[in-house]
Structure 1
Amino acid sequence: MKAVSVATIKKELQHLPSEELTELCLRLSKFKKENKELLTYLLFESHDETGYIETVKQEVDEQFELININSYFYIKKSVRKILRSIKKFARYSLKKETEVELLLYFCQKLIHFKPSIKHNVTLTNIYERQILLIKKIVSTLHEDLQYDYKQMLDELND
């Protein structure tokens, strides 16, 4: 079966009554964990973005504590997994400020991680790519926010 475009789905959804929409959402949430997470964000957490950011930061803290530090191989795998989850949570929000906040937090955790990431080229590259991404996103934000985030970036680089 071939999936139809988002525009076609949108047109079809506009013609459905609210009870059918509710049923479709519930059915969709049963298939993938990401669908359920997105619905959870939209229904319960989208009104409080700072609370959402704090919740994600707590999850990141927990994931960093679980990293197996016996080998850089395991550290790299875990760091990539954490970064994937951060990007997923940022995608739910669709707000650039949230994405910047989460990526800055990730970089802070990574730079202060023991053993140091400076002894591994791959981990250093991951860090530097995220810094570049943060700079790119920050350049699209309002001037006041740009100033604040650039200060945070400067603190990270010190």
Structure 2
Amino acid sequence: MKSSTLKEIKTELQHCSQSELLELCLRLGRFKKENKELLTYLLFEANDENGYIESVKEYIDEQFEEVNTKSYYFIRKSVRKILTNTKKFIRYSKNKETEVELLLYFCKKLKDFRPSIKRSVRLMNVYTRQLAMIEKTVSGLHEDLQYDYQLEIERLGNS
């Protein structure tokens, strides 16, 4: 089955009644965890972006505590999973400030992680790539925010 384009879907949704839209959303939420997470964000957390950021930070903290530190292979695998989930949460928000906040927090946690990531070239590459991505995103923000975030990036990059 070939899926329709977003334009075709949008046109078709405009012809649906409110009850039909409700049924479609509920049905969509049943099929994938990501759909349900996105609906949860849009319905309950989109109005409180700071609360959403804090809840994602708590999730990141929990995940870093559960990392298997027996070898760098397991650490890398866990860090990639945490980063993937963090980026998924960023996609839900579509807010550049949220993206910068969460990626900065991820980098702080990764930098402070023990055993040190400096002993693993791959983990250091993940770290430096995320810092570069943060800098790119910060360049599109308001000047005041750019300054604040730039100080934070320099703190992370220097040490």
Aligned AA (1:92): Y
Q: In structure 1, how many angstroms separate the alpha carbons of the residues matched to 2:156 and 2:73?
A: 25
Deviations along 1:61-93, whole A, 9 cap, x unmatched?
000000000100000000000000000000000
- TM-score for both structures, normalised by structure 1: 0.99
Deviation at 1:155, TM superposition (A): 1.6
Letter in structure 1 aligned against 2:45: E
Partner of 1:98: 98
Q: Which consecutive unaligned segments of at least 5 residues does structure 1 have? A: none
Structure 2: gaps of 5 or more residues? none
3-state SS in 2 of match to 1:30: helix
Residue number in structure 2 paired with 1:22: 22
Residue aligning to 1:89? 89
Q: What is the CA–CA distance in structure 2 between the aligned matches of 1:20 and 1:144, rounded to whole Å?
A: 45
Hey, what's the Cα distance between the residues in 1 that align with 2:13 and 2:97?
Answer: 30
Is it true that 1:110 corresponds to 2:110 in the alignment? yes
Structure 2 residue aligned with 1:74? 74
Q: Which moved more, 1:124-133 or 1:144-153?
A: 144-153
1:88-138 deviation line (CA, Å, top 9, x unaligned): 000000001101100000000000000000000000000000000000000
User: 1:65 matched to which residue of 2?
Assistant: 65
Percent identical across equivalent pairs?
63
Is it true that 1:2 corresponds to 2:2 in the alignment?
A: yes
1:20-56 Cα deviation digits (max 9, x unpaired): 0000000000000000000000000000000000000
- The separation in 2 between residues aligned to 1:57 and 1:109, in whole angstroms, is 10
- Runs of 4+ residues deviating >3 angstroms: none
Give the match's secondary structure for 2:31: coil
Q: Which amino acid aligns with 1:139?
A: S
Q: 2: distance between equivalents of 1:147 and 1:20?
A: 47
- Write the distance in 1 (CA, Å) between the matches of 2:74 and 2:34: 25
> What is the alpha-carbon distance in structure 1 between the residues aligned to residue 14 and residue 49 of structure 2?
28
